[in-house]
Each structure stands twice: as C-alpha cells, then as structure tokens.
Chains A and B, each alone.
Chain A
C-alpha cells in the first residue's frame, strides 16, 4: 500500500485523446517527495530545452503535494508546472482551495497533460472514470462562470473545477488558472492550458488516502492546530499588521492598508505616496470593504481565513484573496471600490493580478510619452478607470494594442520599440514584480530577488524578518520563542542586526550570513511546494506551525519514509538544484539574475557580485550559476550532470567526475 500518496498519475494526451492511469515509482517519492520535486523531474526527463512553451510537447502538470489529502492542516496546494511563455523557463505556481485534495481522493497524485486538442475541451475526472469532453459552448466564458456551468451540466455540485477564462484561451502571457477562491496566477500557466485547448479540469473523488503511522501522525496534526490557536493570539509585535499573524497576508480581514499604500508604488510601479493614508481614506475604505465582503473563507482543511466572498453592487459575486485587492487600485491611482470591481472582471478573464495591472499602467505611460499613438488607443474612453477596463478587455481578446500588451511588459516593449523598454522597468527574468522601490540595498533580499527560481519574492521570503527590530529588547523578545531557526546562530544574526551603523544593511547580515538566511528561507518554500503545504502555515509567516524540526517526523509518519532533518535538507536541495538545472538547460545563467535596476536607490556593484559568487558557491553552483558536477552527483543527479556536460554547459574541470569518495 502507498501512504500519503496514491501512487498513480493520470496521463492525458490531448492530441490523440489517450488517457492512461500510470503507477509511479515509489523511489521517486523518496528522492523528491512529490509536488514541485517530482514535477521538476518530469520536466527534466520529458521536456527537452528546444521545446517551446506552445509546443504540443510541452507538459502541463497539475500536481497535488505529498501531504495533500491527509489530515495535515493546510496541505491543499495544487502545484502547476510547465514551461512559461513569458520567461521561457520552468514555470510553477501553487494554488490553494479544494482541487488537489479532490484529485488525491479520485486516486491520482498528478494530472500530466501533453499534446493539443484541435477543439476546446474539458476534462472530467470522476474517480476511475476520465472523459475528455467538448467545451465549445464554454468558449469565452469566465473562469468562475465555467466552473458553475460544468458543475451544473455534470450534475455534480461537489466537483472541484480549475478553469481558464478568455485570457488563457487567447494565450495571454500572464493568464491564470482559476479555482474558486484560489488561482495559479504567475508565469502564464493559463496560456499553456489555453494553447492545449483545455478550458477546464473538473474532478470528483471518493477514495481514501492512507496514513503510515496513524496515531503518531494525528498527534502532530493536533499539535499543529493547538499551535495555530495559541499563535493566533500572539501576533508578532513590531512588524506591520500583515506580517504579524499566520496565513497569507490577511488582506481580506484587515482594513489598515497604510503600509502597502504608502510603501508600495502606484501606477506602473512609479510613485510612492507617503501621505496617502489618512483617517478619511481609512473610513472610506472600511466602508467599501465591509460592504462588499460577505464572508471570510478558507481552503481545504485550514482554520485560517485568507480569502473572502466579494459581492459589489452591479457585479457578480466572486472570491478574492490577498493583495489583488490593491494591485488594480494602485496601478490606476484609484480607490478600493474600483479595485474590488475590476478584480471581478479580471478574475473571470483569468489574469495574474500582479502583472495585469502593471501591464495596463505601462501601456498608459507609453501613450502619455507619445510612444503609443492615439490610433493605437483608438476608442479608449477618457476617464481613468474606464481606460483600465478598456485595456483589460482588449488584452484578454488580443485585440489591437491588447495583442501587444498581452505578452507582458518585457515582450511588448520589444515589439513596440521606440525606447519602450525603459518603461518595462520592473521585471526580473522578463516577469513583472511587486511594485516596490526602496532606498538601501538589503543583501538578503538582493539574493532572493536575483536567484529565486519562481521570480516572485513572496515565494522565497518569509522566515527571517524583513527589517531589523528597532531596539535590543524587541530583538531579545523575538528570539525567545524562535524555535524555527535551523541553527542557534541565526538568532545571533538577528540580535546583532541594526538599522544604522556597522551592523546594518547592506554589509550586515554579512555575505556568509546572507547566504545561510536565504538558503533557509528558500528551503522552507521548497519543502512546502513538494508537500503541497500552504506557505501561509509554513514558509511565509514568521513563527509558523510547520518548520524544519517537526517536518521530518510529520512526513515520516504520513508517508512511511523515514527521514530526518539531514535527509529532508538533502531532498530539498535536490529538488531545488533540479529546477535550476531545467532552467540552465533552457539558457538561464548569471546574466539573468538581477533585480530591476531601480529596485533600490543605493546599489553596491562589488558587494552584489560578491554576494552572488558566494551564494552560488554555497549552493554548489559555478560562477555562472550552473550546478557543478560535484554537487549534482552528490545529490544523485548524475544523469543531469552528464547532460549538462554534454551540452558544454560545465567547463572541462567542472565536467570531470569527482574523485571517488569525495561526496556523500
């Protein structure tokens, strides 16, 4: 019997209509756990670097993590992986909600989709019965609308549906896959789904998930809930409200947006409005939020309430989470009411709420600068909010200028020329970033921005405070119950970190410390992404219930594979290195690893070079950011080393097998 996983993947070829249930190798679980780890292995094995994102040979993988479907609170993530049309590297995006647990209960760990259907279709997975069904009547329908229609036509109110909207159908480079209150938004995954002619996947499952050591596992789960209860009553003092508690940032619950609105940039990541937040604004926004928010809601088996049902007068009800509440508002220099309204349309269209608003603001900047002409914008209304609706409608249909903007700021600027690339100023690896522009370089953040394979800061940061605490007392207080650190010395790094003077940014934390801090934070995300655990209960918030010390036992008790901290660290490093290798093979090198030039005002080229050098070394990569043969073989990825060497991506010395016995 397989524990914690089903042991089966569903392989779908949309070109031939072939459907296969394939037993997986339990050895792969021991090597990679599951989720992102095994997804990376599949992409490495089956998607060679010459495969374009919109090739039938590109895979679209929707995977439930290893712990999904067990009783572990918060284990509900679907990890979607493919090759991104925007970055041309491996894309992965996690979505919460209820899809992944349902998939597990239907008897599958992953759905692996290849090929392309000539007609728009949807997939209906009902336990052992799998059908590819016609979806031509769903063309152009909104993502939430589609889910409702499918549930109705199947007569299955309990089916969980992941669907794309018009943006995905039309291969918008920042199209998302939507699933109720959640979405896999980043890196254009929805465009690949649309390219495959797949409108939606509906799933219903009624099978058991088995636990290897039930009593022990249950004790951990109870412990996690107890911890959440206690932690909930003890917000971390001295940090902004969204970082004080557990869960994803509590945007739906909190009204106080002083921090975002006065620190994040407005427009096309342009203007900081330090004085924006006033008592009047707070009252107005409170009124808006409280009137449209019907209920705070959660994901499968999680006590937190990070999402909300939103019902604004005149627009259909939808569900929202997190920061999308502010991205449209701020891109348009508008107010919260507009944000809630346009987000409804954007959710039905299925676009990434980080990229889409920025792309639209970028388009308007280009118009103002005269780079885009009046003809380019023919028919655009004159009012500010109307412009955003107009642009959104064009983009998701790829009509006129919308067709250009639908490729995102990087590629749009290339197509437009005339100096437009100066306006695509907020990208890493061709991908739009959060609108943050800061003063002093923070060495830890420099490394995370540069090297994060997800190209999204929230998917790598979390465990170490973003800024030093002001006083010694606060620091001492913070480290008191900081059981999460992988090693006691991390506490000292924090205790010594100050706002000014010798032990402050950018030279403190030192280069060595920064490497360790980044590595720890990233490790937690890779564990979560393999397990399907929500980052909101683990890698993202400070002092979460899951951490590097209890995870090995939880995983062992659930899956029956015996691992300790060292083994878990090694698995994580293996997964992380494999994702890097997939990308190296597609051309990723050091040159791609740079935050936007204007991310910090004060930059330190020498220090930055040293940070990258040392971090690469720490990770077992060469100076160009490619894993060395030694580190690959040490992780049991000999075949990967072989392949990279054959492609001439490792220099001759790096290509030489290590002397016997030098790696463990």
Chain B
C-alpha cells in the first residue's frame, strides 16, 4: 500500500509524576468509565492506567496501558532517576506476560488505554478530569503523518497471538461476554 501524508490529531496525556499524590482516582474512574453500562461498577484492576507507587521510596508513576505483547522482552530496562531505582519494567506500558499489569482480572485479556473513546467524544479523558492535582494533563496537537492502515494480515497475527496465549475458547467467551454486556 502506498503511504499518504495525512493530518491527524495526536492525543497526548502529559504525566507530571511530581504532582501525583497516589490517590488512584484515575484508576477508579477509568474502570468505572469502561464498565458497561457506563459507571455501573468500579474496579481499579480493570483500569487502563495504573499508578506504580512505593510511598516509602517516594515513587509515584502513573502508567498507561499500551500495546499487548505476546512475549516478554529479551532485555529489560531498569531506571535510576534522582537517586531512586525503579523496578524492572516500571515504565513499560505493555500488557505483557512478565507481569500481571493491564490484564482483565477474570479473562486475563489485555487492557489498553483508548483515551476514553466515546460518542460523543469527551472534552477530556476521564482520568484527566478526575486528577485534580494536574498530574495528568490532556493535550491535542495536529501532526502530519504517513498513514498506513493496519493490514488485515497484521490484525490477524495480533488475534492469533492472543489466542495462542489465552486459548481460543477463553477469547471467544470473553468476546461473547463483552458483547452481551454492551
């Protein structure tokens, strides 16, 4: 497929870890927003943002759920910032088999931040709205990008790897459960 120049809105959530007070309101509201019907339940475990916090080491890092990864990385990252050692993978957004982060608690399926996609669209994502401490700030900017639609093949590989990991039946059950709820 030929690449085309296209304008698109890049949605950014700026995370200021210094302002985070560890309240987990972002987790609460994200899970409530994605419940179906909307706001009918809450469970931070289903949230697409998790606050990695270790109060005694003064570590507070809100992390957004990114792409699903079928296998864990071969090399791991470990950061030291301002004299504080962060745990392995602390900043990684992937839903990955190496850790229990960003997976649905009952199905084990991966979670991903969708920037609160909804119709009509929200002024600001819910986690940003509920973070009164401005640790999360929403920004939109326009960018010119070379748009390449995901090919069918890529999508299929994605599904296949999910099925490999979780089993086809479990995936189908979850899809059935989600569509029933919706």
Interface residues of A (CB under 8 A from B): 69-71, 73, 98, 105, 144, 148, 157, 180-181, 206-211, 214-215, 217-218, 222, 225, 228-229, 294-303, 305, 309, 311, 316-319
Tell me, yes or no, whether B29 is within 8 Å of chain A by CB: yes
Q: Contact mask B16-57 → A, CB, 8 Å, 1/0?
A: 000001111100110010010111111111100000001111
Nearest Cβ in chain B — how far from A642, in angstroms? 41
Residue from the list A69, A73, A295, A311 in contact with B42, Cβ < 8 A: A69
With A180-B55, A228-B132, A309-B58 in contact, is A302–B25 under 8 Å at CB? Answer: yes
B57 contacts across to A, CB distance below 8 A: 317
Determine whether the beta carbon of B39 is less than 8 Å from that of A215. Answer: yes
A298 contacts across to B, CB distance below 8 A: 21-23
Determine whether the beta carbon of B132 is less than 8 Å from that of A303. Answer: yes
Residue from the list A218, A300, A301, A319 in contact with B55, Cβ < 8 A: A319
A302 contacts across to B, CB distance below 8 A: 23, 25
Interface residues of B (CB under 8 A from A): 21-25, 28-29, 32, 35, 37-46, 54-58, 60, 105, 129-133
With A180-B55, A214-B39 in contact, is A296–B28 under 8 Å at CB? Answer: no
Determine whether the beta carbon of A225 is less than 8 Å from that of B56. Answer: no
Determine whether the beta carbon of B38 is less than 8 Å from that of A215. Answer: yes
Determine whether the beta carbon of B105 is less than 8 Å from that of A214. Answer: no
Determine whether the beta carbon of B56 is less than 8 Å from that of A303. Answer: no
A181 contacts across to B, CB distance below 8 A: 55
Determine whether the beta carbon of A209 is less than 8 Å from that of B55. Answer: no
Q: How far is the CA of A105 from the CA of B24 in the complex (A)?
A: 14
Nearest Cβ in chain A — how far from B28, in angstroms? 5
Determine whether the beta carbon of A214 is less than 8 Å from that of B38. Answer: yes
Q: How far is the CA of A215 from the CA of B54 in the complex (A)?
A: 34
Q: How far is the CA of A225 from the CA of B41 in the complex (A)?
A: 19
Q: In the complex, what residue of chain B is closest to A302 when comparing beta carbons?
A: B23
A208 contacts across to B, CB distance below 8 A: 35, 41-43, 46
Nearest Cβ in chain A — how far from B21, in angstroms? 4
Nearest Cβ in chain B — how far from A167, in angstroms? 20
B45 contacts across to A, CB distance below 8 A: 105, 206
Q: How far is the CA of A299 from the CA of B28 in the complex (A)?
A: 13
Nearest Cβ in chain A — how far from B112, in angstroms? 18
| Smallest CB-CB A-B distances: 8 pairs | A303-B132, A214-B39, A206-B45, A208-B41, A206-B105, A218-B39, A214-B40, A298-B23
Nearest Cβ in chain B — how far from A5, in angstroms? 13
Determine whether the beta carbon of B39 is less than 8 Å from that of A211. Answer: yes
B39 contacts across to A, CB distance below 8 A: 71, 211, 214-215, 217-218
A215 contacts across to B, CB distance below 8 A: 37-39
Determine whether the beta carbon of A309 is less than 8 Å from that of B38. Answer: no
Determine whether the beta carbon of B43 is less than 8 Å from that of A209. Answer: yes
B41 contacts across to A, CB distance below 8 A: 208-211
B22 contacts across to A, CB distance below 8 A: 297-298
Determine whether the beta carbon of A211 is less than 8 Å from that of B24. Answer: no
Nearest Cβ in chain A — how far from B123, in angstroms? 12
Q: How far is the CA of A663 from the CA of B125 in the complex (A)?
A: 52
Nearest Cβ in chain A — how far from B99, in angstroms? 10
Q: How far is the CA of A116 from the CA of B54 in the complex (A)?
A: 33
A211 contacts across to B, CB distance below 8 A: 32, 39-42
A206 contacts across to B, CB distance below 8 A: 43, 45, 105
Q: In the complex, what residue of chain A is closest to B50 when comparing beta carbons?
A: A158
A296 contacts across to B, CB distance below 8 A: 21
Q: In the complex, what residue of chain A is closest to B44 when comparing beta carbons?
A: A105
Nearest Cβ in chain B — how far from A542, in angstroms? 20
A73 contacts across to B, CB distance below 8 A: 25
B29 contacts across to A, CB distance below 8 A: 71
Q: How far is the CA of A448 from the CA of B75 in the complex (A)?
A: 63
Nearest Cβ in chain B — how far from A531, in angstroms? 16
Beyond A207-B43, A301-B24, A302-B23, 20 additional pairs, beta carbon < 8 A: A70-B42, A71-B42, A144-B56, A208-B41, A208-B43, A210-B40, A211-B42, A214-B39, A215-B37, A217-B39, A218-B32, A225-B129, A295-B58, A295-B60, A300-B24, A300-B28, A301-B28, A309-B55, A316-B56, A317-B56
Residue from the list A148, A209, A305 in contact with B56, Cβ < 8 A: A148
Residue from A215, A229, A295 with most neighbouring chain B CB atoms (10 Å): A295
Q: How far is the CA of A302 from the CA of B24 in the complex (A)?
A: 8
Q: In the complex, what residue of chain A is closest to B20 when comparing beta carbons?
A: A295
Nearest Cβ in chain B — how far from A264, in angstroms? 28
Q: How far is the CA of A201 from the CA of B166 in the complex (A)?
A: 33
Q: How far is the CA of A144 from the CA of B44 in the complex (A)?
A: 24
Determine whether the beta carbon of A303 is less than 8 Å from that of B25. Answer: yes
Q: How far is the CA of A297 from the CA of B35 in the complex (A)?
A: 28
Determine whether the beta carbon of B130 is less than 8 Å from that of A225. Answer: yes
- 10 A-B Cβ contacts within 8 A? A206-B43, A206-B105, A208-B42, A211-B32, A214-B35, A214-B40, A218-B32, A225-B132, A303-B25, A309-B56
With A71-B28, A294-B58, A309-B55 in contact, is A303–B40 under 8 Å at CB? Answer: no
A228 contacts across to B, CB distance below 8 A: 132
Q: In the complex, what residue of chain B is closest to A144 when comparing beta carbons?
A: B56
Q: How far is the CA of A210 from the CA of B32 in the complex (A)?
A: 10
Q: How far is the CA of A218 from the CA of B44 in the complex (A)?
A: 16
Determine whether the beta carbon of B55 is less than 8 Å from that of A299. Answer: no
Q: How far is the CA of A206 from the CA of B21 in the complex (A)?
A: 22
B32 contacts across to A, CB distance below 8 A: 71, 211, 214, 218
B37 contacts across to A, CB distance below 8 A: 214-215
Q: How far is the CA of A309 from the CA of B39 in the complex (A)?
A: 33
Nearest Cβ in chain B — how far from A407, in angstroms? 32
B58 contacts across to A, CB distance below 8 A: 294-295, 309, 311, 317
A317 contacts across to B, CB distance below 8 A: 56-58
Q: In the complex, what residue of chain B is closest to A296 when comparing beta carbons?
A: B21
Determine whether the beta carbon of B43 is less than 8 Å from that of A105. Answer: yes
Nearest Cβ in chain A — how far from B147, in angstroms? 36
Residue from the list B23, B60, B129, B133 in contact with A301, Cβ < 8 A: B23
Q: How far is the CA of A298 from the CA of B43 in the complex (A)?
A: 19
Nearest Cβ in chain A — how far from B89, in angstroms? 13
A210 contacts across to B, CB distance below 8 A: 40-41
Q: In the complex, what residue of chain B is closest to A204 when comparing beta carbons?
A: B45
Nearest Cβ in chain B — how far from A278, in angstroms? 32
Q: In the complex, what residue of chain B is closest to A229 when comparing beta carbons?
A: B132
B105 contacts across to A, CB distance below 8 A: 206-207
Q: How far is the CA of A222 from the CA of B131 in the complex (A)?
A: 12
Determine whether the beta carbon of A295 is less than 8 Å from that of B21. Answer: yes
Q: How far is the CA of A295 from the CA of B82 in the complex (A)?
A: 14
